[in-house]
Chains A and B, each alone.
Chain A
Amino acid sequence: MIDSLLLSQYLIAGIVIGIMYALMAIGITFIYSIMKMINWSMGEFYMMGSYLQYFLVVYFLGANLWFLGIPLSMAVVFVAGMIIQRYLLRPMFVGEMERKDEYATVVTVSLMVFFRNLAVVLAGPNQFAPPDYAGPTHIGPLPVSGNRFVALIGTLVILGLFYLIVKKTWVGKALRGSAQNRVGIQTAGVNVLRVDQIAFGIGVSLAAAAGALLAPIFLVWPENGAIATMKGFEIIVIGGLGSIPGSLLAGLLLGIVESLGSILISPSFRDVYGFILVLGILVVRPTGLFGERQRVA
């Protein structure tokens, strides 16, 4: 019926796209695990990353130096995220603020509207396409588009760096500590407000990395973050808020389900399979596959 070569080709495609989705989701869940808030404007940082990459590659670096654009755009978005966190989100943790969830939701939704429309004002509603990163290649016997292959390798490198920072460095220790217990880490002399700022910066720069890596595949336009946010949120609901392995696994799961769903059932409902998975998981396990049970106050 369906031959195994085609099936494995779709499986590979699903895994490739799944790992890239996971990058976005890890950014969201990382910010959540430390600041206990959902950043609804994550897709706009993705958008920022893709725009920065496009302008860097087209006007400054040239098509051959595209790989320099990715760390540069990540760095710019990292700084922008730190500034935004300092002035808009830090007040949540200073003094007594009521209804932090509500504040965070309203502010980040407004940031989303702000950046989307700012992008239209500054660069127009047009789509841009940066030059291809690489020509078509093969993974084993299976053909794969060069851009996707580059994005896969780039994602793996960035995830590796992220793992090293979180597991091996002092900052990583502080980050993990404040994810576990915000009060406890303060008694150890860690400035939690600074940790929040770094966490937010790292989270949004992961989104920017996804944007920069996927720019030639999903193109660059003011609302390109919407799809990325959609996939990212689906993944964190499936994997469980606050769980990084959960995000990685759920990203792979979502990529594979979408890919196999398109070949086995119908490709036009591709975006629906993810949501069916999400709603199903929410009914069976309201905190996702790996989500910790939240304590009732």
Chain B
Amino acid sequence: MTISGKHLAILAGIYAILAPIPLWLGEYFIHVLNISFYYVVMAASWNLIAGYTGQFSLAHHAFAAMGGYTSALLVIHFNIPILLGIPLGGLLAGAVGFFLGTLCLKMRALYLGLATWAFAESFRITLSMGYKLTRGDLGLSTPTLLDTGQAFHYYYVFLLLAIISLYIMYRIICSRIGYYMRSIRDDEEAALSMGVNTVKWKRFVFVISSFFAGIAGAFYGHYIGLLSPVSVDFNEMAILIIMVITGGLRTFAGPIIGAVFIELLSEVLREYGEIRMVLFALMVIILMRVNRDGIVGLGRNVLPKIKTALMRNGVGPR
């Protein structure tokens, strides 16, 4: 994959726009932004597999935890540098994604959901049972990536992580592979008969999205400094689904908007406690009934109407 000068300029521009934001924010809100960048990567990589390829996997959160635990355990026990541990965590998550993808190759939608869910649950139980290695439900305290505990410095780590991962995903979606993925989603049999190697590309998507989840999870682990089996709870997956659906499944911008929107909103409404989740779930149910393309779809539907309304008031014929 080569990167053209124009793309590089755009990416640098995005970075330049987002880089000064923490100067106006307090420490706590910078932390919130860091977490939302983590969720952006998670939601976008899940959208790659569920939205673009139609493989509704329910094990994405497990891959994040896998990356986090792998990196943390390697760093603790073998003293390797953290920056080596993080890609190793991602690679292990990708390798496990390969096996899970292979296991799920022949499965139709419902069994795929069940199998990936069973995988995530067994991973969670293994984490809490293997307390000699993972410290079980007590949680594993991980060495942090930077010496400072300040969220300000991590902001740039997570910003770069989000920009680079999103760019790679964007390139995949726009390439031939992206067309293969969408053809598998829309009609697997037809794709197969048109010469798309469905086995290969389904596996590929499983590997690549698990890899991104693993990397994101590893960064998250080395930022927060604590990993626990709670992060493999099904609630975590439900939050990812809520984010992606709110933003817009099957769109590139959807998961990004959804993740930032939900994360920021849940911080703003923190004092209301559990009611937030009730409202989010209700919002998703209503969105599914009314407008299945989320915020992005809403924009697509509403913007042309505003445009025509403006035209009517302006020059256009009455």
Contacts and interface: CB of A to CB of B under 8 A. Distances in A.
A125 to B, nearest CB: 8
Contacts of B278: 113-114, 117-118, 121
Interface string B282-309: 1011001100100000000000000000
A65 interface: no
Interface string B93-134: 000000000010011111101110111011001100100000
B122 A282 contact: no
A198 interface: no
Contact of B125 (A99, A275, A283): A275
- Secondary structure class of chain B's binding surface, majority of residues: helix
Contacts of A37: 110
B80 interface: no
A271 B127 CA distance: 12
Given A38-B114, A279-B122, A287-B111, A114 B281 contact: yes
A276 B274 CA distance: 34
Interface in B184-200: 189
B188 to A, nearest CB: 9
B111 A241 contact: yes
A107 B106 CA distance: 25
Given A37-B110, A101-B110, A276-B122, 10 more contacts: A36-B110, A101-B113, A109-B238, A110-B288, A113-B277, A117-B275, A117-B276, A237-B115, A278-B118, A282-B111
- Secondary structure class of chain A's binding surface, majority of residues: helix
Contact of A106 (B119, B189, B234, B284): B284
A275 B238 contact: no
Interface string A253-297: 000000000000000110110011011001100110000001011
Contacts of A294: 108
Contact of A113 (B111, B114, B280): B280
B221 to A, nearest CB: 24
Given A275-B121, A279-B122, A117 B281 contact: yes
B56 to A, nearest CB: 6
Given A111-B285, A113-B242, A117-B274, A286 B107 contact: yes
Interface in B230-283: 234-235, 237-239, 241-242, 245, 249, 273-278, 280-282
Contacts of B280: 113
A88 B234 CA distance: 22
B122 A272 contact: yes
Interface stretch (A126-134, A158-166, A188-196, A226-234): A226-234
Interface of B: 50, 54, 56, 103, 106-111, 113-115, 117-119, 121-122, 125-126, 129, 189, 234-235, 237-239, 241-242, 245, 249, 273-278, 280-282, 284-285, 288-289, 292
Q: Which 8 A-B pairs have the closest CB atoms?
A: A114-B281, A275-B122, A117-B277, A101-B109, A113-B281, A117-B274, A120-B274, A110-B281
A244 interface: no
Given A113-B281, A118-B278, A286-B107, A105 B118 contact: no
A113 B129 CA distance: 26
B111 A286 contact: yes
A112 B289 CA distance: 17
Interface of A: 32, 36-38, 88, 91, 99, 101-103, 105-107, 109-114, 116-118, 120-121, 226, 230, 233-234, 236-237, 241, 268-269, 271-272, 275-276, 278-279, 282-283, 286-287, 294, 296-297
A88 B288 CA distance: 9
Contacts of A283: 103
A223 to B, nearest CB: 9
A276 B275 CA distance: 37
A38 B189 contact: no
A111 B281 contact: yes
B126 A272 contact: yes
B110 A102 contact: no
B103 A282 contact: yes
B240 to A, nearest CB: 10
- Chain A CB count within 10 A is highest, among B54, B121, B273, B289, for B121
A102 B129 CA distance: 33
A296 B189 contact: yes
A102 B56 contact: yes
B282 A114 contact: yes
A99 to B, nearest CB: 8
Contacts of B118: 233-234, 237, 275, 278-279, 282
Nearest to B123: A275
B43 to A, nearest CB: 14
A180 B241 CA distance: 32
Nearest to B50: A102
A101 B56 contact: yes
A75 to B, nearest CB: 24
B129 A268 contact: yes
A282 B115 contact: yes
B281 A233 contact: no
Nearest to A266: B129
